[in-house]
């Protein structure tokens, strides 16, 4: 099970990119003026699920460059979200076990919200981000289940759902601030690598940015709609039934459906 605040991988697997990935190590959770001096060059295999270091080998240099960028931000006194040890949290799901890919844009810019999983927040966060409130409203309507009240989506991750943002970091209170810095090449490779497997895959693409990745998915089914943001949810997200449609697509591929209910923390009515 994936737990917030823990490294995603076990370090059991070492791919050919081992030495170059060390330059991107971002495991130290401490944040402070001297953070850049103490960020270890940790092998990526130690912070991602099995198979991802090999899948990301073509962008090993990009990952190293993003490690340099983030250390430079901290050295200049500029923090970023999520915490350094959560930057690669989306890659906790073993590469061969990903069966659903949910693509977001970039982490929540509100301090205390971003945990490295698109749309998810830490247990107990209140109030929930508006996009997540809309996701839960659609979930309840789609599957006729109680509306969740806790925004921790790790139970989805435990079932093979990858919650990936196109950019893996953001400056606090500055949405989109790390776009164009280099994350896009890395997450593009992640999507392409998933699509190249023989394992079943269904993608949930919310919003224009996510839908622009559809060509990388080859023949994998894509569930598309407007973004759940308050600015666009009423223009095609509400009523799109992404959860039931995803489960139907999974079953058509011979894969087991996802229990989306998050039933451990729900409200009636």
CA-closest candidate to residue 120, choices 235, 2, 241: 2
- What span, in angstroms and rounded, lies between the C-alpha atoms of 53 and 64? 13
Alpha helices in 107-231 (DSSP H): 130-143, 154-157, 183-196, 208-211
Question: Which positions are annotated as active-site residues?
Answer: 106
Pairwise CA distance, residues 4 & 130, whole Å: 21
CA 226 to CA 138: how far, in whole Å?
12
φ, ψ (nearest 5 deg) of residue 204 = -110, 115
174: left (phi over 0), alpha (psi -120 to 50) or beta: beta
């Amino acid at each position: 099970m994936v737990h917030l605040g823990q490294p995603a991988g076990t370090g059991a697997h070492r791919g050919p990119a081992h030495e170059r990935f060390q330059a991107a190590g971002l495991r130290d959770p401490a944040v402070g003026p001297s953070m850049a001096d103490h960020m270890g060059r940790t092998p990526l295999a130690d912070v991602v699920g099995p198979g991802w270091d090999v899948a990301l080998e073509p962008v090993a240099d990009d990952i190293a460059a993003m490690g340099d960028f983030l250390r430079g931000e901290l050295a200049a006194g500029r923090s970023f979200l999520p915490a350094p040890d959560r930057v690669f949290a989306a890659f906790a799901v073993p590469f061969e076990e990903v069966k659903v890919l949910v693509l977001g844009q970039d982490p929540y810019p509100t301090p205390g919200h971003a945990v490295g999983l698109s749309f998810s927040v830490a247990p107990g966060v209140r109030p929930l981000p508006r996009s997540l409130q809309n996701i839960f409203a659609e979930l309840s309507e789609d599957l006729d289940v109680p509306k969740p009240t806790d925004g921790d989506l790790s139970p989805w991750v435990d079932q093979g759902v990858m919650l990936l943002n196109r950019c893996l970091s953001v400056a606090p209170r500055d949405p989109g601030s790390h776009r164009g810095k280099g994350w896009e090449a890395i997450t593009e490779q992640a999507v392409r690598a998933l699509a190249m497997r023989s394992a079943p895959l269904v993608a949930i693409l919310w919003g224009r940015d996510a839908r622009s990745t559809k060509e990388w998915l080859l023949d994998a089914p894509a569930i598309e709609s407007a973004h759940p943001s308050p600015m666009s949810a009423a223009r095609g997200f509400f009523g799109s039934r992404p959860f039931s449609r995803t489960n139907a697509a999974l079953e058509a591929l011979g894969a087991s459906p996802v229990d989306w209910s998050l039933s451990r923390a729900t409200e009636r009515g």
